[in-house]
Every structure is written in C-alpha cells, then in structure tokens.
C-alpha cells in the first residue's frame, strides 16, 4: 500500500485522531506532489494524453481511499490520485501509466487516469461520465451473491457527471437493491468550463439523495478532519448495512480542467472565498495548530515524499515502451475466436 | 415431446443456473413474471434469488453485469427487446467490450436480445442490430437459427469468458420446433452447412436461414442445387466455411434481415471479394431489408425484409449471370 | 377537436365547474369506449401489434389534454387516449392508426399508440421510455427562440419510465433552462409486471421534484375534480412563467399491461383499496351526486359516444391498407440523397 | 491569410448563425468557453443567446435538438468527442433518424462529432464510429477531408432537411490548412477525385485521404499512378464515382481508420464487388484499423490504424496481383 511507505511511524494508530489525520495528510501530500510531478512532465512534453489534477480535492479523495479496505470496490475518477494511493494503488502504477511504460497495469493500451486493477477492486474508469457507478453496483451484487463479508463500494464523481443518465440509473439501481454503495460527488463548481447554474437547477445536489433512497451527507471538503469524519461515517454506515450513502462535497477546483486549460473562466470571487482555500494548506495549519507536527517535520515529510516520487519516476523512465510487434492485438480473451481480418 | 426455440432458450438458462452458481439473470420482468416472452418462465421459482427484476434502466443493467462479472459472476441480461439495447449501448460497447483489452480481466456476460421482425411490431420492436455490435472489437455476436443452436449456443455464450450479444429471433420463438435438445454443440465461430448444393451458395443467419432453405427447396424442383450456409455467429464470422462453399458453387448470395449499409452482408461480400475473388464465377450478390425503419403495417413489413420470394428472384438472377 | 363533437351544449362554459367536469367526463368516456373498442377488435384479430389501454387513468389523462391549448406541445404515452382526444386528436386518427389504414397520419409506417402530428404539437412517441421529454424541451426552447407567446409542454409517463437515464437528463435539462414543462408521472403501481418496490427506493417519486428544480404536486388520480384542479394549476403555473412542474399521480392500472396480458400479478389488496376504484365510475357518481347530470343523460352520452366510435370504425374499415408498391421507401426528406442499394 | 480545418468549422457555424435565425448551437462548454477544441470560439459573444452550454446529458442534448427542429429551428449539437455520442445514440438513431419516415416531418439537425485518432488520446477519445450511424436509415453521415469541405459541407449540413452526423477529424483540426474558404461546394453525396491516376484506385475518407495522397505521391516516383477518391460523405456513398474510378484503374484499395467489421471499407467493397465485378482486374482490398479498442500509447496507436506506410505496402501488393 502506497501510503504505508510514508506512514511508518512505529506507534501509529489511525484510530487516534492525530495518527489518522497525519496519515491522511501524508496521503494528500503524496497525491499533490505526484500530481505536480506529472504536470511538470506534461509541460516538458513527456506525457501523452491529458493530465488532470486533484488539486484542492485531496482531502476528500484521501478520505474515500482511507475509509475503504481490501475487498472493497473503488471507482475513482480523474481527480482521485489521493484516493487511489490511499486505497493501495502504488506510485509505480501511476507513474508507469502516465509515462507509458510497457510494465504498467494497462501496458500502454490505456493511459493516465484510466488505470486500474479490477481484480483488486480498483476499477479502471472509462471516460463516459457516470458509467462506473453501475459497475460498482454489479460488483456489490456479486459480493452479495457470493456471501462475501460486509464489503463496500465507493464511486467518486464531479457535479457535472450527475447530469448523465448513467448516474441516475445507477443511483436508482443501488437504492432498489439497497447496496452498500457510497457515492461521493465533488461539487467543485465547474464541469470543465461550465458553472453549476448551467448544470443543475436544485439548490443543492443533496436534494437528490432522498429521491434515490440514499442517506445524504454534506461536507465542506477543504477541511480534512470533516472529510475524514463524514466520508468515514458514510462508509461505516454502508458497511454496517445502512444502505446506500450519498456524500455531497463542496469545494473548488484549484487548477484547470486539465493541464492544457488555464481555467481563466473561474470566478475570482470563488477563489478568494472560503471555498477557495487549499485543503493541503489548511491541513498543514491544523497539524501545526494542534501541535501534531512541527514545521520541520512537515519539511521532512515533504522531502521524503519528493524523494520517493523522484525514485519511482527515474525507475519508470528507464522502462521499455510498449512494442507493437509484441502486442497481441486481442480484444477477446477467447483467442480461438479472433478473426484474422485486415 | 417437442420444444420450441423459445423453450430452448429457457432450458439453456435453466441448465446454466443449475450447473454454475455464478450464473444469474437480470432484466425487466424476468422474475416471477417470467419475462415479456416467457423466456425465463418459472426460473425465479426454481432458482430463488437468482433471477432479478431490474428497473427500466438498460445502461445500469449492463453496467451492473460488467461489475458482477469482474467480481466473479456470470450474468445473463435480458433486454426486453433488442431495440431497447440502444440505451444500454454505451455500457456494452465501451465498458464490457473494452474491459479485457484494457485490463486482461475477462468480462463473461451475456446480453440476450430478442430481435428481428414480426408482423405489426413496428419500428421499435423489430430491429436487427447485430451489425452495430459486431462493428466493435471485444464482443462476440451470436445469431442462432435453430432450436438446437438456440440452446447450445446460449450455453456456450454463458461459458465463454467474453461478452456475448445473443441475438434470438422473435419470429422463431414460436415458429420453430425441434424434437429434442442437443447434447453436443458445434463450436462457436463455426458456420454450418444447413443444406448442401453445388450451384449457388446462400449465406444467411438467424431467421433468414429458413427463408433460404425454403428457396433451396423450391429451386430444387427446377434442378438447381443451392447450398445454404448458416453463419451461426456473425462475429466471429466463419470466413473459411463460406469460402469453401463458394469454392464449390462459384456463386454467392448473402441475405440479411438488417439494413443494407455495413451489415453482415457487406462484411461477407467484402471478405469473399477480397479473399476469394478467384472462386467467384459471377458477381457476389446481397439482399437486405430496405433502408428505412421497419414498417408497422404487415403489407409494408412483408415488402421491407427479404423473403423466400425475393430471395428466389435474386437467386435466379444470379444463376443466369 | 374530438371532444368538441361530444361537448356541444350551447351554453357550455368550461370555466364553470359543472361544464368543465362534464366536458372532461365525456372525454374520459370517449377514451374508455374507444379503448374498449380497440380491445374488442384486438381480440377479434383485427388489430396488428399491441393494444395498450388507459383504463383507470382517464381522469388524469383527460385533465392533461384539457389544460393544453393549440400551440402547446404534448407528448402522450401509451395510456393517454383521453389526453390525446382532449388535446384535439381525432377519433379518426386513432382508428386509422390502429386499423392500419393507409390514410392515417402514419400511413402504416408506424402504428397504434405511436401516432402523432408533430406539426400540431402532438408528438409521436418512440418506444424507448423517457425519450420524449427532452424532445418536448427542445420544442419549448424553440418557442423561446422564436418568441412565441406563453406555450406549455406536457409529457406523460409511467412510474417505471422514471428509471431511465433519458428521464433524468431531460428533467434536469428542463430545470436548467427553466422551461414551461409539465411532467406527469402516472404511478399506476406496476411497470408491466414490476411493482414499484423493484423500480425505485424513495418513499414517493415526488421526492425527485426538488432535485430537478421542479415544483411538485401530488394527486389521487381517480378523482377527476382533483386531477382537473392539480393538472390545470400545474399547467397554468408553467404557462405563467412559474418554471417546470412535476405532477405525481397515484392510481392503479385497471387492465393488463397490454391486451395480451391478464395482469394476474396485480395485488388483489390494491384492487380492492381506494386506489383501485375506477375513475370513470367515480366521475359518474360525482355527476349524479352533484345533480350535474341525470342517469338518463349519462346513458344518452354513452349512446352518442358509441355511435360516434362505430361510425368512425366502420368508415376506417373500408379504407385501403398501405400498398408496398406505392410506398416510396424513403427515410430521408432529401430525395436526391437516397441510395439505390439492395 | 491561412485557415485551418478547425477554423473552417468555426467559420461555417458563424456564417450559419449569421445567415439563418433558426440556427443555434448547443453542447458542453460551447458558450463563453468556445468549446473543448475552440470550434465555437467567440460565437457566444457574436451571437448572444444562440450558443448554449448544455449539461453533461448527451441523450437530452439530441432529444432537445429534435424537438427544436420540429418546432422550426436548425440546431447544431456539438458532442465533446464522438466517443461520447454513444450515450446520445438512442436519440440519434431512433428519434432523429426515424422522424421523417414516420411522420413526413423533417428533422434538420446537425450533430458534430470530433472523431478519429490522435496520439495519446486512448480508447475513448479516438473512435471513428461513422459506421454505426451510417448503418441506420434516416441519417446523412459526412466525413470531410479538407478545409474546404469542412466549411462547405457543414454549411450544407445545416441547410439539409435531414439529420446529419458530421464527423470532423481531430487530427486534421490543426494539421490541415487552406489559403481561403470556398465560395461554392460540391453537392453532398458526391465523391471527389482527390488525385487522378490510372493504375490503382484508393478510396478513402477523412484523415485517411491524406495518407492515401502521400502514398500516391510516393508511388508516383516509381511510375505508378494512383487515383485517390475522397468519399466526402459515407452515407450516401457515391458508388458511381467509385465505380467509374475502378473502371479506369481495374484495382481497388479501400482504406478506413475505423474497425474492420462492417465499416465503410466493407460497404465499398461489397458494392464494387456486386455492382462492378467485371471492372476488377484483381481482388479488391481493404485496410482498416485493427480489431481492438484504439490504444493509448503512441507506439501502439501508430500500428493500430492504417498509415501511409501500411497503405503503400498494401498498394504494392495489389499492384503485383
Ligand atoms: C458522457 C460524457 N460526456 C462528456 C464528457 C467530456 N468531459 C470530460 S470531463 C468533463 C467535465 C466533468 O465535470 P465534473 O463531472 O464536474 O468533474 P470535474 O472535472 O469538475 O472533476 C466533461 C464534460 C465525458 N467524459 N463523458
Ligand atoms: C427503454 C425501454 N426499456 C424497456 C421498454 C419496454 N417496456 C415498455 S412499457 C414498459 C413498462 C412501463 O411501465 P411504466 O413506465 O410504469 O408505464 P405503464 O405501462 O405502467 O403505464 C416496459 C418495460 C421500453 N419501452 N423502453
Ligand atoms: Mg466539477
Ligand atoms: Mg406503471
């Protein structure tokens, strides 16, 4: 588990507020720095395809990943580097996918934020927004059929994705089946350039929860402690048989839609509002204020994290790219059914 | 005892449920009601908890099937009509069909599509849309034409590790009967010589096989021997068997109930023309439905799709070439 | 307008409760008897394709049709014979479509409940549930672009259709655009054989309205007066600029899903509950109780209606069926772009 | 002054908006932002209230377009990527495409699909799915290959009374430039001889036209004269022009960037084989992408789709036959 590397203090006990918070903070930090590394590599022309950052959403995302356990099912979206790492994805998987290493989990067939390991409960997103939720539902149904002990499924998405038919059908399906599903909607105020007023007409997306038979929770998502509490509680409730849970997170995207986008359209008023405060900074302030860590310690953690990332990137940059002549070009697992067409 | 094509589909599902605890069925009204066509009749009772009624949510039905497959199950999805699969289209072609290629994790789901025309069913309960699925990589598209294949291929579909679009023809549901169910099946991906002949090859699939056989019968009285190839699955498409038949007859007529542009008949002709050009003694021909939505009125419907009559006319024309 | 034929009392003023009620009742009666005629013809093998009845839903449906005006847009579904007639569809159109006359509005290309006259604001349903609502939205957008005076769009559907992604996307779209749309969901407790507990998980579908920015209204829909009031008010509010309106109608389907279906699965408890009472009977009782009509008058109306229907059916049965040789087989209006493929 | 393929699309929309008050644009981020590719840059400012940002609701976007068309408008829908049109698929193929046939009321909508592969874009931002639309009756499917056609055909698309699927190639967006915009356009449904030749016909469309032209250029140095036919629209498909070219050259190679089963190349080969059999001096050939999802990695992507290199190899092989 990626975070384990960073959070190895011998006496750590994440059920203690300080330890849990520190672990989450270090997860956020890892995600932030990893994201920034990819952004740098992108600007240097070393990454193919889009780079989408979770800047400003790490507190929420890490809380999701931390609340899950092995055996659970997680469907992250484009801003969930933190959640992925916390759920157990390795920095190596991330780096290999972004840098197009043939050794990555997608072996160059798919890239970047599309990575996943379905066998380990980490679903590889398709781009079509909303489409992953019903897949999580299906996995949970399977767990029910197979009588697996209380697993949880968790799907993340942005507020824009709530406008898709796929979202609706899957939410309703989870409600009807009373699945242990947690859906987290990060309302970061924009879907690409589109503000929420062009996306939905309710006062709050929380108004949707009851219509699907979900319990609803809201959280101001640049507050790590609040995220840990609210998301943790939602996951625990789902796990305990409390039925599907909907978490509406209020925050602001602190970056472009992707690294190609300067986000000039973001309302400056939002940026300077409380919503615009950076969750990572706030978490650092909290650590210092609570005296859970000293400034020097923060520096050390940052240094360790940078080093870890640099090592992984250096390793991956030496790895081979996929070779089309070794690619088997097979979209079917049943090799005998392949056609030899040109 | 005699068994219909529809009953064969029910029996195959009953056997799949009985043999493999990973199998379950999910679809609208498939539970206590037994499905709009009764293809799951009594299965909910015989296999409690394993035949689930779904909301009217085709996208989520397929998405859930993929998730369940990832987590070790083998779901069978029933679309109430093939035509409604267009609202589950994205999950089929972009989620299910890409999973194995992207992750090396297989996606063993079966999507049953009651398809094809029946009299009076109209534009949205008659479509033959096998081609839109066959176009996408990562899917197997089966089109059984016989009671035996309806049974055997559905069992194979459930056993396959890849997503299968199972096109079952609504016209054949009640019209086709067999004496008993087969104990063995031809392998998936192999076409069948439904009738041997040496003058002309008619390649067909699903309900059109029977129209072709009727034409072969009719023309036999005129001393013309038509070979009928039943494709069985349109993807993979068994080019070898088609080519071997054309090698024997030198003449190819391909018949499909679907629309003309880019359908099975286009694919068959393209393959034979490019890979078997030298085998042809005459231009390959094809016959499809007309390029309009499927009409509601029986008079129009009968003229819209190929029938024994129009196939016979095409065959005669081709024999004169 | 079909109803005008029946409701020709010289001093009728539908703004007076009695006259409005009588007009609506006669519309219900026409729809019921027409439906029954089609059911009879279906059993006699004279109708191709499915026959779906509005039995038990006439009060709701007629209220929808009556609330609309020329220039409005109406998207009825399979149980809306009453609404169609009230909106102005002729019995002739209905009969021609069910009986496959070449002279019908669909000329045999489509049939039965799929008929419509888009130019006159009566949209011809496609079968895919939920798909018509966004079409109504688009027409209303067009009216806005074209600065047409206050028109309203009204779409009917069953509770099962609310599970479709199309429903969700269109509802949300209408909310975002603040369209004068009225959506009426007839919760008749079943979608084909599927009870509501397998269809949604909220206490009431009314819980969905706020999430889309719709005003919500509920109505016990075997009560004609209530339907006229609630639907009329919803339409008036939308017309007056009050934004999209959601009407949830509670009732029971008093027939099979289609005439091929014996509906054995319907809970007898529901049938004998207040929900199971027939809106037509209740309306008759109301007419008698209020002394708005005498029993003999009811008989006369029924007789007139039967006669009207019989005449139309007799006429249509003499009409030609479509002839494939005169069909131009053209799916494009641009004839020059047709292909001559076989 | 020089203008790109992408700018031509913007200019065509600007002209359509200026010339016809019935035109409006609807799609994600098309308003103030000017679209993900900037195809609607400044249009919201220049035409206030007529360029509307939509929610992420492809089904409702298309449905609304149909409704607006019925009520007298001429909407242009921008899909952010062609790949996402699969979730608006049903409204396109069952609502828009059937309206005229069912009711005789036309459905003048344009659905713009930024399509085709670019390096690193991966399985869900690269697809060429013209065939799934061309398969359905009632749609016109345009695939402009040049800046001039991007402009002229988009204007024609808006003017047409039928629903048009306008496939604009993302690779050409910035790579292709012209000196000026055309004042006249070839009619819709007519293919163009992009380069004349007498030894071999390469039929292509969209980005593949340029690969074919490169091959023609290359082989010209070997004294081989290749004729390149640019289909321009794949439905209708201009069989006459293709056939006339094959009549001249006797050899046909058809190239498409899409998947092999049932794509444009299948349709072209089927038509030429059945209607122009006698014109062929050698078996017709086709070249498509491989039958897998479009790979993300540039190395794999370059091998997945046809390129000048693989087309040249195919052409050489065909010339030796
Ligand atoms: C069905 C579909 N339509 C369009 C897109 C293109 N698209 C990718 S991300 C995006 C915006 C997503 O916004 P939101 O859901 O709010 O997530 P955020 O990026 O803000 O985290 C869009 C429109 C898509 N991926 N899927
Ligand atoms: C997308 C889609 N899936 C499935 C169907 C098949 N179907 C037709 S009617 C029906 C039940 C509809 O139930 P409801 O919406 O409650 O309307 P009701 O018949 O009760 O009036 C179903 C499943 C369909 N028409 N469209
Ligand atoms: Mg957002
Ligand atoms: Mg219902």
- The DSSP secondary structure of D118-173, one letter per residue, reads -TT--TTS----HHHHHTSTT-EEE---SHHHHHHHHHHHHHSSS-EEEEEEHHHH
Sign of CA dihedral B250, B256, B259, B264: negative
Q: What spacing in Å lies between the alpha carbon of C113 and ligand 2's midpoint?
A: 13
Query: What ligand is nearest to the CA atom of residue A161?
Result: 1
Does B262 lie in the same domain as B137?
Answer: no
Distance to chain A for B121, nearest Cα, Å: 27
- Give the model confidence (pLDDT) of C69-98 as tens digits: 999 999 999 999 999 999 999 999 999 999
Burial of A335 from C-beta contacts in 10 A (0-12 / 13-18 / 19+): exposed
Residues D78-111: pLDDT tens digits?
999 999 999 999 999 999 999 999 999 999 999 9
Instruction: With residue C191 as reference, give the H or E element that holds it.
Output: strand C190-191
A339 contact partners, CB below 8 Å, separation of at least 6: B235, B236, B237, B239, D260, D261, D291
**Exposed/middle/buried for C14, CB within 10 Å: 0-12, 13-18, 19+?**
middle
Which residues on neighbouring strands pair with residue D230, listed in sequence order?
A: D192, D204
Instruction: Say yes or no to pLDDT of D244 above 90.
Output: yes
Residue B122: closest CA among B292, B301, B256, B263:
B301
Whether D186 is in a domain gets the answer no
Residue D224, min C-alpha distance to chain C (Å): 33
Q: What is the DSSP code (8-state) at residue B224?
A: -
Looking at per-residue confidence, does A272 or D321 come out higher? Answer: A272
Q: What is the mean predicted confidence (pLDDT) over D189-209? A: 98
Residue C336 lies in a domain: no
- Give C329's contacts in chain B (Cβ within 8 Å): 290-292, 304
Distance between A252 CA and the closest CA of chain D, angstroms: 18
- Residue A250 clears pLDDT 50, i.e. is over it: yes
Per-residue pLDDT of A123-132, as tens digits, reads: 999 999 999 9
Residue C342 has pLDDT above 50, yes or no: no
Contact at CB, A201 and C166, closer than 8 angstroms: no
- Residue D120 and residue A126: Cβ atoms within 8 Å? no
- Half-sphere exposure at residue C51, Cβ-oriented, CA atoms within 13 angstroms: 26
Residues from chain D contacting residue A323 (CB–CB below 8 Å): 299
Peptide bond before residue D309 is cis, with ω within 30 degrees of 0: no
> Quick check: D68 and C341 CB within 8 A?
no
Same domain, B20 and B167: yes
Distance (Å) from CA A27 to ligand 1 centroid: 25
Q: How far is the CA of D295 from the centre of ligand 3 (A)?
A: 27
Whether residue D123 is found in the same domain as residue D197: no
| pLDDT average, residue stretch B177-182 | 94
Average pLDDT over residues D220-224: 97
The total domain count for chain D is 2
User: For atom 1 of ligand 1, which residue has the closest CA?
Assistant: A128
Same domain, D167 and D210: no
Please give the Cα distance from A51 to A112 (Å, whole number).
Answer: 7
List pLDDT tens digits, range A76-90.
999 999 999 999 999
* Integer Cα distance of C200 and C248 in angstroms: 14
Question: What residues of chain A lie within 8 A of the CB of D59, using their CB?
Answer: 165
**Measuring CA to CA, which residue among A339, C209, C78 is closest to residue B275?**
A339
Residue in chain C closest to B88 (alpha carbons) equals: C165
CB C185 within 8 Å of CB C157: yes
Together in a domain, B163 and B232: no
The verdict on residue B185 lying in a domain is no
- The arithmetic mean of pLDDT across residues D142-162, rounded, is 98
Residue B262 has pLDDT above 70, yes or no: yes
Best residue for ligand 1 mutational test, from A61, A158, A259, A265 (most atoms within 8 Å of Cβ) = A158
In a domain, B98, yes or no: yes
What is the residue-wise DSSP string for C252-283? ---S-SSTT---TTS-HHHHHSGGGS-HHHHH
Q: Are strands D192-195 and D226-230 parallel, antiparallel or unpaired?
A: antiparallel
In a domain, C12, yes or no: no
What pLDDT does A196 receive? Answer: 98
Dihedral, CA of residue A116, residue A121, residue A127 and residue A128, to nearest 10: 170
Tokens of D22: 């019935």
- Which H or E run includes B52? strand B51-53
- Angle, helices B147-159 vs B5-19, to 10°: value is 30
Does residue C16 or residue A37 have the better pLDDT? Answer: A37
Q: Which CATH number is A86's domain given? A: 3.40.50.970
Tokens of C260: 């091929």
Distance from CA of A96 to the nearest CA of D (A): 12
Locate D284 and state its tokens.
């017709």
Instruction: Say whether the ipTM exceeds 0.90.
Output: yes
Nearest chain D Cα to C124, which residue? D103
In contact, B40 and B12? CB cutoff 8 Å:
no
| Predicted pLDDT at A4 | 66
The whole-number average pLDDT for the span A101-115 is 96
- Whole-angstrom Cα distance, residue A295 to residue A304? 14
Q: Are residues D236 and D144 in the same domain?
A: no
Tell me the pLDDT of chain B averaged across its residues.
97
Q: Which chains would you list as touching C if contact means 3+ CB atom pairs under 8 Å? A: A, B, D
What average pLDDT does the segment D274-303 reach?
98
CATH for B57: 3.40.50.970
Phi, psi angles (nearest 5°) of residue D34: 85, 15
- pLDDT exceeds 70 at position C8: no
d(CA D83, CA C80): 37
Q: Which of B27, B67, B139 to mutate to test the interface with A (most CBs of A within 10 A)?
A: B67
CA distance B41 to B35: 7
Using a CB–CB cut-off of 8 Å, the residues of C that contact A are 163-169, 172, 175-176, 178, 197-203, 205, 207-208, 210-213
Q: Is C295 on the interface with D (CB under 8 A)?
A: no
Q: Using the 8-state DSSP alphabet, how is residue C188 labeled?
A: -
Digit-coded pLDDT (tens) for B38-64: 999 999 999 999 999 999 999 999 999
Query: Which residue from D100, B297, D142 is spatially nearest to C331, judged by alpha carbons?
Result: D100
Confidence at residue C133, expressed as pLDDT on a 0 to 100 scale: 98
What's the token pair of residue C228? 């006229």
In a domain, A118, yes or no: yes
Read out DSSP for C100-157? T-TTSTTBTTB-GGG--BGGGTB----SSTTHHHHHHHHHHHHHHHTT-SS--EEEEE
Using one digit for the tens of pLDDT, what is the confidence trace for A286-328?
999 999 999 999 999 999 999 999 999 999 999 999 999 999 9
- What CATH number is given to the structural domain containing D273? 3.40.50.920
Cα C130 to ligand 2 centroid, rounded to whole Å: 9
Token pair 């989520």 in the structure block, residue: B60
Q: Is residue D185 part of a domain?
A: no
pLDDT digits (tens, 9 = 90+) for A187-226: 999 999 999 999 999 999 999 999 999 999 999 999 999 9
pLDDT at C7: 61
- Note whether D300 contacts A109, CB cutoff 8 Å: yes
pLDDT at D185: 83
Contact call for C202 and A212, based on CB within 8 A: yes
Q: Both B173 and B219 in a single domain?
A: no
CA–CA dist A306, A311 (Å, integer) = 9
Q: Any idea which ligand is nearest the CA of A113?
A: 1
- φ and ψ of D177, to 5 deg: -130, 150
Q: How many domains does chain C have?
A: 1
The answer on D206 and D89 residing in a single domain is no
Residues with CB under 5 A from ligand 4 (ion): C 158-160, 188, 191
Task: Select from C192, C321, C324 the Cβ nearest to the Cβ of B303.
Answer: C324
Check: CB of residue A108 under 8 Å from CB of residue A26.
no
Strands B3-4 and B177-178: antiparallel
CA distance linking residue A291 with residue A271, whole number of Å: 28
Q: Is residue D280 part of a domain?
A: yes
Residue A5 scores a pLDDT above 90: no
User: What is the residue-wise DSSP string for A125-159?
Assistant: --SSTTTTHHHHHHHHHHHHHTT-SS--EEEEEEG
Tell whether B79 and B150 lie within a shared domain. yes
Say how far apart CA B246 and CA B203 lie, in whole Å. 10
Q: Which of C8-12, C306-310, D250-254 has the lowest mean pLDDT?
A: C8-12
| C117 neighbourhood in chain D, CB within 8 Å | 103
Ligand number, closest to the Cα atom of D89: 1
Chain A residue numbers with beta carbons less than 8 Å from the beta carbon of D260 are 339, 341-342
Whether A334 maps to a domain, the answer reads no
Q: Are residues D230 and D82 in the same domain?
A: no
Q: How confident is the model at residue C340, as a pLDDT?
A: 64
Average pLDDT of the residues of chain A:
95
For residue A160, report the distance from its CA to the centre of ligand 1, in Å.
Answer: 6
pLDDT in tens, C140-194: 999 999 999 899 999 999 999 999 999 999 999 999 999 999 999 999 999 999 9
Ligand 2: residue of C83, C130, C192, C259 to mutate (most ligand atoms within 8 A of CB) is C192
Contacts of A229 (CB under 8 A, 6+ apart): none
CB atoms within 10 A of CB D10: 23
Confirm whether B132 is domain-assigned.
yes
Residues D78 and D218 grouped into a single domain = no
Of C57, C59, C63, nearest to C78 by C-alpha is C57
Write down the pLDDT at residue A340: 64
Identify which of C54, C77, C129, C251 to mutate to test ligand 2's pocket (most ligand atoms within 8 A of the CB). C129
Final residue of a structural domain among D178, D202, D223: D178
Predicted confidence band of residue C14 (pLDDT cuts 50, 70, 90): confident
Which of the residues B27, B102, B187 would you substitute to probe the A interface, choosing the one with the greatest number of A C-beta atoms within 10 Å? B102
CB contacts under 8 A, C 128-167 vs D, are 128, 131-143, 145-146, 165-166
D touches which chains (3+ CB pairs under 8 A)?
A, B, C
B99 and B17, same structural domain? yes
Among B178, B202, B233, the domain-final residue is: B178
Place of tokens 């996402």: D84
Which residues of chain C are within 8 Å of residue A203 when distances are taken between CB atoms?
210
Residue C229 belongs to a domain: yes
Residue C10's pLDDT is 56
Which residues of B form the catalytic set? 125
- Please indicate if any CB of chain B lies within 8 Å of the CB of C271: no
Taking each helix axis as running N to C, give the angle between helix C279-289 and helix C17-43, from 0 to 180 degrees, rounded to the nearest 10. Answer: 140
- To the nearest whole angstrom, how far is the Cα of C300 from the nearest Cα of chain B? 36
| Annotation says D125 is catalytic | yes
- Please report which confidence band the pLDDT of residue D184 belongs to, taking 50, 70 and 90 as the band edges: confident
The residue range of the domain holding D91 is 3-178
Q: How confident is the model at residue A16 (pLDDT cuts 50, 70, 90)?
A: confident
Contacts with B102 from chain D: Cβ below 8 Å: 123, 293
d(CA B249, CA C197): 59
* pLDDT on residue C11: 62
Residue given tokens 């949707």 in the structure block: A208
Compute the average pLDDT of residues B184-201. 95
């Amino acid at each position: 588990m990626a975070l384990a590397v960073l959070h190895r203090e011998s006496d750590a006990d994440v059920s203690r507020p300080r330890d849990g918070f520190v672990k989450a903070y270090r997860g956020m930090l890892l995600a932030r720095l990893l994201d920034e590394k990819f952004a740098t590599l992108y600007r240097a022309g070393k990454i193919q395809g889009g780079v989408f950052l979770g800047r400003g959403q790490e507190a929420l995302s890490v809380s999701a990943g931390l609340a899950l356990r092995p055996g659970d099912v997680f469907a992250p979206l484009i801003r969930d580097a933190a959640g992925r790492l916390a759920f157990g994805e390795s920095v190596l998987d991330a780096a290999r996918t972004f840098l197009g290493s043939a050794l990555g989990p997608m072996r160059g067939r798919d890239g970047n934020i599309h990575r996943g390991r379905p066998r380990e409960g980490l679903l590889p997103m398709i781009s079509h927004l909303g489409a992953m939720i019903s897949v999580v539902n299906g996995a949970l149904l399977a767990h029910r059929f197979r009588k697996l002990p209380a697993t949880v499924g968790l799907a993340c998405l942005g507020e824009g994705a709530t406008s898709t038919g796929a979202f609706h059908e899957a939410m309703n399906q989870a409600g009807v089946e009373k699945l242990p599903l947690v859906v987290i909607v990060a309302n970061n105020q924009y879907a690409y350039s589109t503000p929420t007023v062009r996306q939905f007409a309710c006062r709050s997306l929380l108004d949707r929860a009851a219509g699907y038979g979900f319990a609803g929770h809201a959280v101001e998502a640049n507050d790590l402690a609040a995220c840990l509490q609210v998301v943790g509680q939602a996951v625990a409730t789902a796990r305990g048989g409390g039925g599907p849970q909907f978490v509406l997170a209020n925050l602001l995207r602190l970056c472009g839609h992707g690294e190609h986008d300067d986000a000039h359209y973001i309302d400056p008023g939002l940026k300077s509002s409380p919503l615009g405060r950076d969750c990572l900074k706030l978490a650092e302030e909290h650590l210092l204020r609570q005296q859970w860590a000293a400034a020097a310690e923060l520096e050390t953690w940052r240094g360790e994290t940078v080093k870890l990332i640099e090592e992984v990137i250096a390793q991956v940059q030496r790895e081979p790219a996929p070779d089309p002549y070794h690619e088997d070009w097979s979209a079917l697992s049943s090799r005998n059914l392949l056609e030899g067409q040109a | 005892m005699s068994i219909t094509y529809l009953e064969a589909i029910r029996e195959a599902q009953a056997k799949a449920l009985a043999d493999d605890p990973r199998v379950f069925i999910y679809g609208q009204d498939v539970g206590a009601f037994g499905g709009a066509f009764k293809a799951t009749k009594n299965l909910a009772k015989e296999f409690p908890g394993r035949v689930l009624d779904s909301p009217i949510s085709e996208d989520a039905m397929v998405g859930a099937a993929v998730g369940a497959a990832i987590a070790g199950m083998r779901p069978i999805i029933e679309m109430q009509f093939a035509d409604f699969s267009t609202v589950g289209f994205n999950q089929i072609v972009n989620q299910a069909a890409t999973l194995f290629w992207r992750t090396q994790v297989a996606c063993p789901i079966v999507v049953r599509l009651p398809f094809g025309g029946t009299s009076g069913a109209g534009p949205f309960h008659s479509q033959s849309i096998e081609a839109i699925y066959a176009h996408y990589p990562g899917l197997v598209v089966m089109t059984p034409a016989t009671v035996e294949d309806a049974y055997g291929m559905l069992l194979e579909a459930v056993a396959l590790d890849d997503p299968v679009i199972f096109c079952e023809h609504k016209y054949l549901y009640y019209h086709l009967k067999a004496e008993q169910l087969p104990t063995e099946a031809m392998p998936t991906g192999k076409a069948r010589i439904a009738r041997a002949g040496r003058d002309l090859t008619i390649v067909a699939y699903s309900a059109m096989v029977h129209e072709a056989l009727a034409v072969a019968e009719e023309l036999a009285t005129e001393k013309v021997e038509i070979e009928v190839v039943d494709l069985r699955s349109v993807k993979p498409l068994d080019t070898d068997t088609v080519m071997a038949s054309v090698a024997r007859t030198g003449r190819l007529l391909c018949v499909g109930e679907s629309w003309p542009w880019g359908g099975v008949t286009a694919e068959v002709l393209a393959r034979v023309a490019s890979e078997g050009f030298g085998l042809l003694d005459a231009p390959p021909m094809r016959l499809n439905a007309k390029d309009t939505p499927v009409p509601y009125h029986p008079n129009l419907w009968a003229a819209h799709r190929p029938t024994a009559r129009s196939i016979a006319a095409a065959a005669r024309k081709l024999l004169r070439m």
